[in-house]
Chains A and B, each alone.
Chain A
Amino acid sequence: MLSVRNLAKSYGALAVLRDVSFDVAAGEILGIAGPNGSGKSTLFNVLTGIPVRADDGEIRFDGREIRNLPAPAIVAAGLVRTFQRETAFETLTSLENVLAGPLHDLRMPSADARRRAEAALDFVGFPAERIGWIAADLSVFDRKRLMIASALALGPKLCLFDEPVAGLAPPEIQAIMAILRRLRDRGTAAILVEHVLPALLGVSDRLMVLHQGVVLATGAPQDVIRDPRVIDAYLGPGRHAA
Protein backbone atom coordinates (compact mmCIF):
# COMPACT_ATOMS: atom_id res chain seq x y z
CA MET A 1 0.00 0.00 0.00
CA LEU A 2 2.83 2.38 0.90
CA SER A 3 6.22 1.99 -0.71
CA VAL A 4 8.99 4.42 0.20
CA ARG A 5 12.32 4.41 -1.61
CA ASN A 6 15.53 6.33 -0.94
CA LEU A 7 13.76 9.14 0.82
CA ALA A 8 16.01 12.07 1.80
CA LYS A 9 15.48 15.31 3.69
CA SER A 10 18.06 17.83 4.89
CA TYR A 11 17.88 21.08 6.78
CA GLY A 12 20.89 22.95 5.47
CA ALA A 13 23.89 20.78 6.21
CA LEU A 14 21.92 18.54 8.58
CA ALA A 15 20.77 15.37 6.82
CA VAL A 16 17.70 14.40 8.85
CA LEU A 17 16.62 11.49 6.62
CA ARG A 18 19.03 9.54 4.44
CA ASP A 19 18.15 6.86 1.97
CA VAL A 20 15.06 5.71 3.88
CA SER A 21 13.23 2.80 2.25
CA PHE A 22 10.40 0.66 3.62
CA ASP A 23 6.95 -0.71 2.81
CA VAL A 24 3.64 -0.95 4.59
CA ALA A 25 1.22 -3.65 3.50
CA ALA A 26 -2.55 -3.21 3.52
CA GLY A 27 -3.97 -3.64 7.01
CA GLU A 28 -0.55 -3.77 8.60
CA ILE A 29 0.76 -1.80 11.57
CA LEU A 30 4.38 -0.78 11.19
CA GLY A 31 5.98 0.38 14.41
CA ILE A 32 8.84 2.88 14.27
CA ALA A 33 11.28 3.36 17.12
CA GLY A 34 14.34 5.54 17.32
CA PRO A 35 16.14 7.85 19.72
CA ASN A 36 15.17 11.52 20.02
CA GLY A 37 16.06 13.44 16.91
CA SER A 38 16.40 10.35 14.73
CA GLY A 39 13.98 11.73 12.16
CA LYS A 40 10.69 9.99 12.98
CA SER A 41 8.51 13.09 12.94
CA THR A 42 10.35 14.41 9.92
CA LEU A 43 9.47 11.17 8.13
CA PHE A 44 5.77 11.85 8.81
CA ASN A 45 6.24 15.44 7.65
CA VAL A 46 7.65 14.51 4.28
CA LEU A 47 5.22 11.61 3.73
CA THR A 48 2.27 14.00 4.06
CA GLY A 49 3.94 17.17 2.74
CA ILE A 50 3.11 19.00 6.00
CA PRO A 51 4.85 21.29 6.60
CA VAL A 52 7.82 20.25 4.44
CA ARG A 53 8.53 18.04 1.46
CA ALA A 54 11.24 15.48 0.83
CA ASP A 55 14.31 16.54 -1.13
CA ASP A 56 14.62 13.28 -2.95
CA GLY A 57 13.22 9.77 -3.24
CA GLU A 58 9.93 8.09 -4.07
CA ILE A 59 6.70 7.80 -2.13
CA ARG A 60 4.21 5.47 -3.79
CA PHE A 61 0.83 5.16 -2.16
CA ASP A 62 -1.77 2.82 -3.64
CA GLY A 63 0.40 2.60 -6.73
CA ARG A 64 0.57 6.38 -7.20
CA GLU A 65 3.57 8.69 -6.75
CA ILE A 66 2.45 11.23 -4.15
CA ARG A 67 5.68 13.00 -3.20
CA ASN A 68 4.79 16.19 -5.03
CA LEU A 69 1.03 16.18 -4.56
CA PRO A 70 -0.49 19.07 -2.59
CA ALA A 71 -1.18 18.14 1.03
CA PRO A 72 -4.98 18.04 0.64
CA ALA A 73 -4.63 15.64 -2.30
CA ILE A 74 -2.51 13.31 -0.16
CA VAL A 75 -5.25 13.35 2.47
CA ALA A 76 -7.85 12.68 -0.20
CA ALA A 77 -5.79 9.71 -1.40
CA GLY A 78 -6.20 8.22 2.10
CA LEU A 79 -2.91 9.00 3.84
CA VAL A 80 -3.64 10.92 7.06
CA ARG A 81 -1.42 11.87 9.99
CA THR A 82 -1.59 12.99 13.59
CA PHE A 83 0.96 15.26 15.25
CA GLN A 84 3.34 14.63 18.11
CA ARG A 85 1.93 17.58 20.04
CA GLU A 86 -1.79 17.16 20.73
CA THR A 87 -2.93 19.60 18.07
CA ALA A 88 -6.47 20.94 17.70
CA PHE A 89 -8.33 23.86 16.19
CA GLU A 90 -8.32 25.73 19.48
CA THR A 91 -11.38 27.96 19.01
CA LEU A 92 -13.59 25.24 17.50
CA THR A 93 -15.74 22.81 19.44
CA SER A 94 -14.76 19.15 19.59
CA LEU A 95 -17.42 18.26 17.06
CA GLU A 96 -16.35 21.07 14.73
CA ASN A 97 -12.76 19.89 15.02
CA VAL A 98 -13.75 16.51 13.63
CA LEU A 99 -16.20 17.94 11.09
CA ALA A 100 -13.83 20.50 9.56
CA GLY A 101 -12.03 18.00 7.32
CA PRO A 102 -15.01 16.02 5.98
CA LEU A 103 -17.12 19.15 5.48
CA HIS A 104 -14.39 20.78 3.43
CA ASP A 105 -15.06 18.20 0.71
CA LEU A 106 -18.03 19.88 -0.92
CA ARG A 107 -19.09 16.70 -2.67
CA MET A 108 -19.87 15.09 0.65
CA PRO A 109 -23.41 15.81 1.87
CA SER A 110 -23.24 17.44 5.29
CA ALA A 111 -25.40 14.71 6.83
CA ASP A 112 -22.76 12.16 5.76
CA ALA A 113 -19.96 14.30 7.15
CA ARG A 114 -21.79 14.58 10.44
CA ARG A 115 -22.39 10.84 10.59
CA ARG A 116 -18.70 10.21 9.95
CA ALA A 117 -17.62 12.69 12.59
CA GLU A 118 -19.95 11.19 15.18
CA ALA A 119 -18.85 7.67 14.31
CA ALA A 120 -15.18 8.69 14.64
CA LEU A 121 -15.76 10.36 18.02
CA ASP A 122 -17.61 7.27 19.16
CA PHE A 123 -14.83 5.00 17.86
CA VAL A 124 -12.20 6.72 20.01
CA GLY A 125 -14.53 6.81 23.02
CA PHE A 126 -14.73 10.58 23.15
CA PRO A 127 -17.15 11.56 25.94
CA ALA A 128 -20.46 12.66 24.41
CA GLU A 129 -20.94 15.42 26.98
CA ARG A 130 -17.78 17.17 25.76
CA ILE A 131 -18.44 17.30 22.02
CA GLY A 132 -19.72 20.86 22.43
CA TRP A 133 -16.63 22.02 24.36
CA ILE A 134 -14.07 24.35 22.83
CA ALA A 135 -10.92 22.34 22.13
CA ALA A 136 -8.77 24.70 24.20
CA ASP A 137 -10.68 23.58 27.32
CA LEU A 138 -10.01 19.86 26.87
CA SER A 139 -7.49 17.70 28.74
CA VAL A 140 -4.43 16.29 27.02
CA PHE A 141 -6.03 12.87 26.82
CA ASP A 142 -9.20 14.26 25.25
CA ARG A 143 -7.17 16.30 22.79
CA LYS A 144 -5.21 13.22 21.75
CA ARG A 145 -8.42 11.28 21.21
CA LEU A 146 -9.94 14.22 19.37
CA MET A 147 -6.95 14.44 17.03
CA ILE A 148 -7.23 10.72 16.28
CA ALA A 149 -10.98 11.03 15.70
CA SER A 150 -10.45 13.91 13.29
CA ALA A 151 -7.99 11.77 11.34
CA LEU A 152 -10.36 8.78 11.26
CA ALA A 153 -13.31 10.92 10.13
CA LEU A 154 -11.42 11.43 6.87
CA GLY A 155 -11.67 7.70 6.16
CA PRO A 156 -7.92 7.01 5.88
CA LYS A 157 -6.47 3.86 4.35
CA LEU A 158 -3.20 4.45 6.16
CA CYS A 159 -2.96 6.46 9.33
CA LEU A 160 0.27 7.87 10.78
CA PHE A 161 0.42 8.15 14.58
CA ASP A 162 3.22 10.25 16.06
CA GLU A 163 3.63 9.27 19.73
CA PRO A 164 -0.08 8.98 20.49
CA VAL A 165 0.48 7.93 24.12
CA ALA A 166 3.33 10.26 25.10
CA GLY A 167 2.57 12.05 28.36
CA LEU A 168 -0.49 9.93 29.23
CA ALA A 169 -1.25 7.96 32.39
CA PRO A 170 -1.28 4.13 32.18
CA PRO A 171 -5.07 3.70 31.90
CA GLU A 172 -5.15 6.33 29.18
CA ILE A 173 -2.32 4.55 27.36
CA GLN A 174 -4.40 1.38 27.51
CA ALA A 175 -7.36 3.23 26.02
CA ILE A 176 -5.30 4.55 23.09
CA MET A 177 -3.76 1.14 22.45
CA ALA A 178 -7.25 -0.32 22.38
CA ILE A 179 -8.21 2.24 19.72
CA LEU A 180 -5.21 1.19 17.60
CA ARG A 181 -6.13 -2.49 17.96
CA ARG A 182 -9.74 -1.83 16.98
CA LEU A 183 -8.44 0.08 14.01
CA ARG A 184 -6.32 -2.87 12.94
CA ASP A 185 -9.29 -5.21 13.36
CA ARG A 186 -11.14 -2.90 11.01
CA GLY A 187 -8.36 -3.32 8.44
CA THR A 188 -6.93 0.21 8.49
CA ALA A 189 -3.16 0.22 8.08
CA ALA A 190 -1.04 2.37 10.35
CA ILE A 191 2.46 3.55 11.10
CA LEU A 192 3.04 4.02 14.80
CA VAL A 193 5.91 6.09 16.14
CA GLU A 194 6.28 5.57 19.88
CA HIS A 195 8.88 5.77 22.62
CA VAL A 196 6.77 3.75 25.03
CA LEU A 197 8.09 0.31 24.09
CA PRO A 198 5.39 -1.97 25.52
CA ALA A 199 2.80 0.03 23.63
CA LEU A 200 4.82 -0.15 20.44
CA LEU A 201 5.49 -3.89 20.71
CA GLY A 202 1.92 -4.56 21.77
CA VAL A 203 0.36 -3.57 18.48
CA SER A 204 3.06 -3.54 15.79
CA ASP A 205 3.14 -6.29 13.19
CA ARG A 206 6.62 -5.23 12.19
CA LEU A 207 9.14 -2.86 13.69
CA MET A 208 11.57 -0.46 12.05
CA VAL A 209 14.31 1.41 13.88
CA LEU A 210 15.55 4.79 12.69
CA HIS A 211 18.84 6.18 13.88
CA GLN A 212 20.25 9.51 12.74
CA GLY A 213 18.01 9.46 9.72
CA VAL A 214 18.99 5.97 8.60
CA VAL A 215 16.97 2.75 8.80
CA LEU A 216 18.95 0.52 11.18
CA ALA A 217 16.76 -2.53 11.12
CA THR A 218 13.34 -3.71 9.99
CA GLY A 219 11.57 -6.95 10.82
CA ALA A 220 9.59 -8.89 13.39
CA PRO A 221 9.51 -6.82 16.61
CA GLN A 222 11.15 -9.49 18.77
CA ASP A 223 14.05 -9.85 16.33
CA VAL A 224 14.57 -6.14 15.87
CA ILE A 225 14.85 -5.35 19.57
CA ARG A 226 17.56 -8.00 19.90
CA ASP A 227 19.51 -6.66 16.93
CA PRO A 228 22.96 -5.59 18.22
CA ARG A 229 22.97 -2.42 16.12
CA VAL A 230 19.67 -1.40 17.63
CA ILE A 231 20.94 -1.99 21.16
CA ASP A 232 24.05 0.04 20.33
CA ALA A 233 21.96 2.90 19.04
CA TYR A 234 19.87 3.04 22.19
CA LEU A 235 22.39 2.18 24.89
CA GLY A 236 25.70 3.13 23.33
CA PRO A 237 28.25 0.78 21.70
CA GLY A 238 29.40 -2.30 23.56
CA ARG A 239 26.49 -2.44 26.01
CA HIS A 240 24.79 -5.49 24.58
CA ALA A 241 27.26 -8.09 25.85
CA ALA A 242 25.04 -8.83 28.84
Chain B
Amino acid sequence: MTRRGVVIGLAALGLLAALPFVFPVPYLRHIFILAFIYAVVASNWDLSLGYGGIFNFAHVAFFSIGVYGYGILTKLAGWSPWAALAAGGVLATLAAVLVAIPVLRLSGIYIILVTFAFAQLVLQLVVSQSGLTGGMMGMVGLPTFQIPGYNLARDGKLGYYFGALALLVVSTAFLRAFVGSRLGLAIRALRDDPDYAAARGISVARQRILTLAASAFFTGVAGAYYAAYLRIASPDAFGVSLLSLLLSILLLGGLASIYGPVVAALVLTFLSEASVDLGPWRHIAIAVVIIVVVRIWPGGLWSALRRLSS
Protein backbone atom coordinates (compact mmCIF):
# COMPACT_ATOMS: atom_id res chain seq x y z
CA MET B 1 0.00 0.00 0.00
CA THR B 2 1.25 3.47 -0.84
CA ARG B 3 1.66 6.10 1.82
CA ARG B 4 -1.27 8.02 0.37
CA GLY B 5 -3.36 4.85 0.46
CA VAL B 6 -2.59 4.43 4.16
CA VAL B 7 -3.56 8.06 4.86
CA ILE B 8 -6.83 7.73 2.95
CA GLY B 9 -7.61 4.40 4.62
CA LEU B 10 -6.98 5.80 8.10
CA ALA B 11 -9.05 8.89 7.33
CA ALA B 12 -11.98 6.77 6.17
CA LEU B 13 -11.65 4.63 9.26
CA GLY B 14 -11.56 7.73 11.47
CA LEU B 15 -14.74 9.03 9.85
CA LEU B 16 -16.53 5.75 10.36
CA ALA B 17 -15.36 5.59 13.98
CA ALA B 18 -16.57 9.15 14.65
CA LEU B 19 -19.89 8.68 12.87
CA PRO B 20 -21.92 7.13 15.73
CA PHE B 21 -20.89 10.03 18.00
CA VAL B 22 -21.47 12.75 15.44
CA PHE B 23 -24.90 11.35 14.59
CA PRO B 24 -26.05 9.53 17.73
CA VAL B 25 -29.01 7.95 15.94
CA PRO B 26 -29.48 4.22 16.61
CA TYR B 27 -31.20 3.72 13.27
CA LEU B 28 -28.19 5.09 11.40
CA ARG B 29 -25.97 2.72 13.36
CA HIS B 30 -28.24 -0.16 12.46
CA ILE B 31 -27.94 0.67 8.77
CA PHE B 32 -24.17 0.85 9.00
CA ILE B 33 -23.89 -2.39 10.95
CA LEU B 34 -25.70 -4.15 8.11
CA ALA B 35 -23.58 -2.31 5.54
CA PHE B 36 -20.36 -3.44 7.26
CA ILE B 37 -21.60 -7.03 7.28
CA TYR B 38 -22.57 -6.90 3.59
CA ALA B 39 -19.21 -5.31 2.83
CA VAL B 40 -17.46 -8.27 4.47
CA VAL B 41 -19.54 -10.81 2.56
CA ALA B 42 -19.19 -9.03 -0.79
CA SER B 43 -15.45 -8.36 -0.51
CA ASN B 44 -14.82 -11.99 0.40
CA TRP B 45 -16.83 -13.02 -2.63
CA ASP B 46 -14.57 -10.74 -4.65
CA LEU B 47 -11.67 -12.98 -3.64
CA SER B 48 -13.10 -16.07 -5.35
CA LEU B 49 -15.05 -14.33 -8.11
CA GLY B 50 -12.87 -11.34 -8.95
CA TYR B 51 -9.37 -12.55 -8.12
CA GLY B 52 -9.93 -16.26 -8.54
CA GLY B 53 -12.22 -16.03 -11.56
CA ILE B 54 -14.24 -18.87 -10.00
CA PHE B 55 -17.97 -18.44 -10.68
CA ASN B 56 -18.85 -19.43 -7.17
CA PHE B 57 -22.55 -19.13 -6.38
CA ALA B 58 -22.25 -20.98 -3.10
CA HIS B 59 -20.98 -17.84 -1.42
CA VAL B 60 -24.37 -16.95 0.03
CA ALA B 61 -24.54 -20.46 1.47
CA PHE B 62 -21.24 -19.85 3.32
CA PHE B 63 -22.92 -16.84 4.92
CA SER B 64 -26.03 -18.84 5.85
CA ILE B 65 -23.92 -21.59 7.31
CA GLY B 66 -22.43 -18.96 9.62
CA VAL B 67 -25.94 -17.75 10.47
CA TYR B 68 -27.33 -21.20 11.27
CA GLY B 69 -24.09 -22.44 12.80
CA TYR B 70 -24.37 -19.62 15.29
CA GLY B 71 -28.05 -20.31 15.93
CA ILE B 72 -27.70 -24.04 16.45
CA LEU B 73 -24.50 -23.90 18.48
CA THR B 74 -25.69 -21.21 20.86
CA LYS B 75 -29.30 -22.27 21.25
CA LEU B 76 -29.19 -26.03 21.04
CA ALA B 77 -25.61 -26.87 21.96
CA GLY B 78 -25.26 -24.15 24.56
CA TRP B 79 -22.01 -22.75 23.18
CA SER B 80 -20.89 -19.31 24.19
CA PRO B 81 -21.69 -16.68 21.52
CA TRP B 82 -18.01 -15.88 21.00
CA ALA B 83 -17.09 -19.51 20.40
CA ALA B 84 -20.05 -19.81 18.03
CA LEU B 85 -18.84 -16.72 16.15
CA ALA B 86 -15.50 -18.39 15.44
CA ALA B 87 -17.26 -21.67 14.68
CA GLY B 88 -19.33 -19.89 12.04
CA GLY B 89 -16.12 -19.12 10.18
CA VAL B 90 -14.74 -22.62 10.60
CA LEU B 91 -17.96 -24.31 9.44
CA ALA B 92 -18.18 -22.08 6.37
CA THR B 93 -14.54 -22.88 5.55
CA LEU B 94 -15.24 -26.61 5.79
CA ALA B 95 -18.27 -26.17 3.53
CA ALA B 96 -16.06 -24.32 1.05
CA VAL B 97 -13.60 -27.20 0.92
CA LEU B 98 -16.52 -29.53 0.29
CA VAL B 99 -17.76 -27.36 -2.58
CA ALA B 100 -14.25 -27.04 -3.99
CA ILE B 101 -13.92 -30.76 -4.62
CA PRO B 102 -16.50 -31.05 -7.44
CA VAL B 103 -15.41 -27.65 -8.76
CA LEU B 104 -11.78 -28.69 -9.28
CA ARG B 105 -12.27 -30.21 -12.71
CA LEU B 106 -15.03 -27.93 -13.96
CA SER B 107 -15.03 -24.57 -15.63
CA GLY B 108 -17.34 -21.66 -16.44
CA ILE B 109 -21.05 -22.36 -16.48
CA TYR B 110 -20.63 -25.79 -14.85
CA ILE B 111 -19.10 -24.18 -11.80
CA ILE B 112 -22.13 -21.88 -11.55
CA LEU B 113 -24.47 -24.86 -11.73
CA VAL B 114 -22.67 -26.99 -9.16
CA THR B 115 -22.15 -24.19 -6.66
CA PHE B 116 -25.72 -22.96 -7.05
CA ALA B 117 -26.97 -26.51 -6.51
CA PHE B 118 -24.87 -26.69 -3.36
CA ALA B 119 -26.50 -23.53 -2.02
CA GLN B 120 -29.95 -24.96 -2.78
CA LEU B 121 -28.98 -28.21 -1.07
CA VAL B 122 -27.99 -26.38 2.10
CA LEU B 123 -31.25 -24.41 1.98
CA GLN B 124 -33.30 -27.61 1.59
CA LEU B 125 -31.41 -29.12 4.49
CA VAL B 126 -32.19 -26.12 6.68
CA VAL B 127 -35.87 -26.07 5.73
CA SER B 128 -36.35 -29.81 6.16
CA GLN B 129 -34.57 -30.18 9.51
CA SER B 130 -37.10 -28.04 11.34
CA GLY B 131 -36.38 -29.71 14.69
CA LEU B 132 -32.91 -28.22 14.50
CA THR B 133 -33.38 -25.07 12.47
CA GLY B 134 -37.00 -24.07 12.92
CA GLY B 135 -37.70 -24.83 9.26
CA MET B 136 -39.30 -21.99 7.32
CA MET B 137 -39.94 -20.12 10.57
CA GLY B 138 -36.27 -20.01 11.44
CA MET B 139 -34.84 -19.55 14.92
CA VAL B 140 -35.56 -16.56 17.09
CA GLY B 141 -34.27 -15.17 20.36
CA LEU B 142 -30.66 -16.10 19.74
CA PRO B 143 -28.25 -15.01 22.46
CA THR B 144 -26.40 -11.76 21.83
CA PHE B 145 -22.76 -10.94 22.49
CA GLN B 146 -21.73 -9.91 25.97
CA ILE B 147 -18.40 -8.81 27.22
CA PRO B 148 -18.24 -9.12 31.00
CA GLY B 149 -20.59 -6.51 32.38
CA TYR B 150 -21.64 -5.10 29.00
CA ASN B 151 -24.18 -6.08 26.37
CA LEU B 152 -23.09 -4.98 22.92
CA ALA B 153 -26.64 -3.98 22.05
CA ARG B 154 -26.69 -1.29 24.74
CA ASP B 155 -26.04 2.42 24.19
CA GLY B 156 -27.91 2.41 20.92
CA LYS B 157 -26.07 -0.60 19.46
CA LEU B 158 -22.71 1.10 19.92
CA GLY B 159 -20.94 -2.17 20.68
CA TYR B 160 -22.34 -3.89 17.61
CA TYR B 161 -21.38 -0.93 15.48
CA PHE B 162 -17.74 -1.12 16.49
CA GLY B 163 -17.74 -4.89 16.42
CA ALA B 164 -18.96 -4.88 12.82
CA LEU B 165 -16.47 -2.18 11.88
CA ALA B 166 -13.66 -4.20 13.48
CA LEU B 167 -14.81 -7.29 11.60
CA LEU B 168 -14.71 -5.34 8.34
CA VAL B 169 -11.24 -3.98 9.05
CA VAL B 170 -9.79 -7.38 10.01
CA SER B 171 -11.45 -9.12 7.06
CA THR B 172 -10.26 -6.47 4.60
CA ALA B 173 -6.72 -6.59 5.98
CA PHE B 174 -6.79 -10.39 5.66
CA LEU B 175 -8.06 -10.27 2.07
CA ARG B 176 -5.50 -7.68 0.99
CA ALA B 177 -2.69 -9.63 2.64
CA PHE B 178 -3.93 -12.80 0.96
CA VAL B 179 -4.09 -11.38 -2.56
CA GLY B 180 -0.68 -9.77 -2.06
CA SER B 181 0.87 -13.04 -0.88
CA ARG B 182 2.45 -15.80 -2.96
CA LEU B 183 -0.86 -17.65 -2.84
CA GLY B 184 -2.65 -14.58 -4.15
CA LEU B 185 -0.15 -14.29 -7.00
CA ALA B 186 -0.90 -17.87 -8.04
CA ILE B 187 -4.64 -17.16 -7.86
CA ARG B 188 -4.30 -14.19 -10.19
CA ALA B 189 -2.07 -16.15 -12.55
CA LEU B 190 -4.62 -18.93 -12.67
CA ARG B 191 -7.40 -16.49 -13.43
CA ASP B 192 -5.41 -14.88 -16.25
CA ASP B 193 -4.62 -18.17 -17.99
CA PRO B 194 -5.24 -21.61 -16.46
CA ASP B 195 -3.20 -23.55 -19.03
CA TYR B 196 -0.24 -21.24 -18.77
CA ALA B 197 -0.46 -21.39 -14.98
CA ALA B 198 -0.38 -25.19 -15.13
CA ALA B 199 2.65 -24.94 -17.42
CA ARG B 200 4.37 -22.91 -14.70
CA GLY B 201 3.73 -25.58 -12.11
CA ILE B 202 0.69 -24.00 -10.49
CA SER B 203 -1.78 -26.55 -9.16
CA VAL B 204 -5.33 -25.66 -10.16
CA ALA B 205 -6.69 -28.00 -7.50
CA ARG B 206 -4.68 -26.59 -4.62
CA GLN B 207 -5.34 -22.99 -5.59
CA ARG B 208 -9.08 -23.41 -6.03
CA ILE B 209 -9.47 -25.11 -2.66
CA LEU B 210 -7.39 -22.41 -0.98
CA THR B 211 -9.25 -19.59 -2.70
CA LEU B 212 -12.69 -20.88 -1.78
CA ALA B 213 -11.64 -21.72 1.78
CA ALA B 214 -10.04 -18.33 2.29
CA SER B 215 -13.10 -16.53 0.92
CA ALA B 216 -15.44 -18.49 3.19
CA PHE B 217 -13.94 -17.88 6.62
CA PHE B 218 -14.88 -14.25 7.23
CA THR B 219 -18.09 -14.78 5.29
CA GLY B 220 -19.11 -17.40 7.86
CA VAL B 221 -17.99 -15.16 10.72
CA ALA B 222 -20.09 -12.35 9.21
CA GLY B 223 -23.08 -14.73 9.08
CA ALA B 224 -22.68 -15.58 12.75
CA TYR B 225 -22.29 -11.90 13.62
CA TYR B 226 -25.44 -11.11 11.65
CA ALA B 227 -27.36 -13.80 13.54
CA ALA B 228 -26.10 -12.56 16.90
CA TYR B 229 -26.99 -8.98 16.03
CA LEU B 230 -30.50 -9.60 14.68
CA ARG B 231 -30.98 -12.52 17.09
CA ILE B 232 -32.59 -14.58 14.35
CA ALA B 233 -31.59 -17.24 11.85
CA SER B 234 -34.02 -17.49 8.97
CA PRO B 235 -34.08 -18.95 5.45
CA ASP B 236 -34.00 -15.35 4.21
CA ALA B 237 -30.26 -15.63 4.65
CA PHE B 238 -30.34 -17.71 1.45
CA GLY B 239 -32.75 -15.40 -0.28
CA VAL B 240 -32.71 -13.89 -3.71
CA SER B 241 -32.76 -10.41 -2.19
CA LEU B 242 -29.47 -10.97 -0.37
CA LEU B 243 -27.96 -12.51 -3.49
CA SER B 244 -29.05 -9.61 -5.68
CA LEU B 245 -27.84 -7.08 -3.13
CA LEU B 246 -24.40 -8.72 -3.08
CA LEU B 247 -24.25 -8.86 -6.87
CA SER B 248 -25.21 -5.17 -7.04
CA ILE B 249 -22.41 -4.38 -4.61
CA LEU B 250 -19.87 -6.28 -6.70
CA LEU B 251 -21.09 -4.70 -9.92
CA LEU B 252 -21.03 -1.20 -8.49
CA GLY B 253 -17.73 -1.61 -6.66
CA GLY B 254 -15.89 -3.47 -9.39
CA LEU B 255 -14.14 -6.81 -9.22
CA ALA B 256 -10.65 -7.74 -8.10
CA SER B 257 -9.85 -4.88 -5.78
CA ILE B 258 -11.39 -5.93 -2.42
CA TYR B 259 -11.81 -2.22 -1.60
CA GLY B 260 -14.36 -1.75 -4.37
CA PRO B 261 -17.08 -3.92 -2.80
CA VAL B 262 -16.38 -2.36 0.60
CA VAL B 263 -16.95 1.15 -0.77
CA ALA B 264 -19.94 0.00 -2.82
CA ALA B 265 -21.61 -1.67 0.18
CA LEU B 266 -21.49 1.62 2.07
CA VAL B 267 -22.59 3.69 -0.93
CA LEU B 268 -25.48 1.36 -1.77
CA THR B 269 -26.67 1.35 1.83
CA PHE B 270 -26.64 5.12 1.81
CA LEU B 271 -28.45 5.34 -1.51
CA SER B 272 -31.01 2.87 -0.41
CA GLU B 273 -31.74 4.81 2.78
CA ALA B 274 -31.68 8.19 1.07
CA SER B 275 -34.24 7.02 -1.45
CA VAL B 276 -36.77 5.60 0.97
CA ASP B 277 -39.23 8.34 0.02
CA LEU B 278 -39.32 7.03 -3.55
CA GLY B 279 -41.29 4.01 -2.40
CA PRO B 280 -41.41 1.27 -4.98
CA TRP B 281 -39.36 3.42 -7.38
CA ARG B 282 -36.41 3.11 -5.08
CA HIS B 283 -35.07 -0.13 -6.51
CA ILE B 284 -35.42 1.15 -10.02
CA ALA B 285 -33.66 4.39 -9.11
CA ILE B 286 -30.77 2.46 -7.55
CA ALA B 287 -30.55 0.16 -10.54
CA VAL B 288 -30.32 3.19 -12.81
CA VAL B 289 -27.52 4.65 -10.68
CA ILE B 290 -25.61 1.38 -10.90
CA ILE B 291 -26.06 1.15 -14.66
CA VAL B 292 -24.94 4.76 -15.16
CA VAL B 293 -21.86 4.30 -12.98
CA VAL B 294 -20.88 1.09 -14.74
CA ARG B 295 -21.51 2.66 -18.16
CA ILE B 296 -19.15 5.52 -17.34
CA TRP B 297 -16.59 3.46 -15.40
CA PRO B 298 -16.78 -0.18 -16.49
CA GLY B 299 -14.40 -1.10 -13.67
CA GLY B 300 -16.91 0.15 -11.09
CA LEU B 301 -16.55 2.69 -8.29
CA TRP B 302 -13.12 1.62 -7.21
CA SER B 303 -11.52 2.13 -10.59
CA ALA B 304 -13.42 5.42 -10.86
CA LEU B 305 -12.01 6.61 -7.53
CA ARG B 306 -8.53 5.57 -8.57
CA ARG B 307 -8.79 7.33 -11.89
CA LEU B 308 -10.21 10.50 -10.37
CA SER B 309 -7.49 10.63 -7.73
CA SER B 310 -4.56 10.12 -10.08
Q: Which residues of A line the B interface, CB within 8 A? A: 48-51, 70-72, 75-76, 80-81, 83, 87-92, 96-97, 99-101, 103-106, 110, 113, 150-151, 154
Q: How far is the CB of A111 from chain B (nearest CB, A)?
A: 12
Interface check B192, CB cutoff 8 A: yes
10 more A-B residue pairs beyond the given contacts A83-B199, A90-B193, A105-B201, with a C-beta to C-beta distance below 8 A: A51-B195, A71-B201, A72-B201, A72-B202, A100-B185, A100-B186, A101-B200, A101-B201, A151-B200, A154-B200
Interface check B242, CB cutoff 8 A: no
Residues of A within 8 A of B189 (CB): 89, 92, 96-97, 100
Residues of B within 8 A of A49 (CB): 198
Q: How far is the CB of B44 from chain A (nearest CB, A)?
A: 21
Q: B193 touching A89 by the CB < 8 A rule? A: yes
Q: Which residue of chain A lies nearest to B200 when distances are taken between CB atoms in the complex?
A: A101
Interface check B182, CB cutoff 8 A: yes
Interface check B196, CB cutoff 8 A: yes
Q: When each residue 52-76 of chain B gets 1 if its CB lies under 8 Å from chain A and 0 otherwise, what string results?
A: 0000000000000000000000000
Q: B185 touching A71 by the CB < 8 A rule? A: no
Q: When each residue 178-205 of chain B gets 1 if its CB lies under 8 Å from chain A and 0 otherwise, what string results?
A: 0000100110110011011111111100
Q: B192 touching A48 by the CB < 8 A rule? A: no
**Interface size classification for chain B:** 10 to 19
Q: A91 touching B192 by the CB < 8 A rule? A: yes
Contact of B182 among A80, A91, A92, A104 (CB under 8 A): A104
- Give Cα distance in the complex from A201 to B186, angstroms: 37
Q: Which residues of B line the A interface, CB within 8 A? A: 182, 185-186, 188-189, 192-193, 195-203
Contact of A75 among B185, B192, B201 (CB under 8 A): B201
- Give Cα distance in the complex from A106 to B186, angstroms: 11
- Give Cα distance in the complex from A88 to B203, angstroms: 17
Closest 6 CB pairs of A and B: A101-B200, A75-B201, A103-B182, A89-B192, A100-B189, A71-B198
Residues of B within 8 A of A76 (CB): 201
- Give Cα distance in the complex from A76 to B198, angstroms: 11
Residues of A within 8 A of B196 (CB): 83, 87-89
Residues of A within 8 A of B195 (CB): 50-51
Q: A70 touching B201 by the CB < 8 A rule? A: no
- Give Cα distance in the complex from A76 to B138, angstroms: 51
Q: A71 touching B199 by the CB < 8 A rule? A: yes
Q: How far is the CB of B155 from chain A (nearest CB, A)?
A: 46
- Give Cα distance in the complex from A105 to B186, angstroms: 10
- Give Cα distance in the complex from A105 to B192, angstroms: 19
Contact of A72 among B182, B185, B192, B203 (CB under 8 A): B203
Residues of A within 8 A of B192 (CB): 89-92
Q: B199 touching A100 by the CB < 8 A rule? A: no
Q: A100 touching B200 by the CB < 8 A rule? A: yes
Complex A-B: 9 CB contacts under 8 Å? A51-B198, A72-B201, A75-B199, A87-B193, A90-B192, A96-B185, A101-B200, A103-B185, A113-B182
Q: Which residue of chain B lies nearest to A45 when distances are taken between CB atoms in the complex?
A: B195
Residues of A within 8 A of B198 (CB): 49-51, 71-72
Among B182, B188, B192, B200, max chain A CB count under 10 A is at: B200
Residues of B within 8 A of A113 (CB): 182
Q: B186 touching A104 by the CB < 8 A rule? A: yes
Residues of A within 8 A of B200 (CB): 75, 100-101, 104, 150-151, 154
Residues of B within 8 A of A110 (CB): 182
Residues of B within 8 A of A80 (CB): 199, 201
- Give Cα distance in the complex from A103 to B180, angstroms: 12
Residues of B within 8 A of A87 (CB): 193, 196
Residues of A within 8 A of B197 (CB): 89, 100
Given contacts A50-B195, A87-B193, contact A70 B188 (CB under 8 A): no
- Give Cα distance in the complex from A91 to B198, angstroms: 17
Residues of A within 8 A of B188 (CB): 89, 91-92, 96
- Give Cα distance in the complex from A101 to B200, angstroms: 5
- Give Cα distance in the complex from A82 to B5, angstroms: 38
Q: How far is the CB of B302 from chain A (nearest CB, A)?
A: 15
- Give Cα distance in the complex from A140 to B200, angstroms: 20
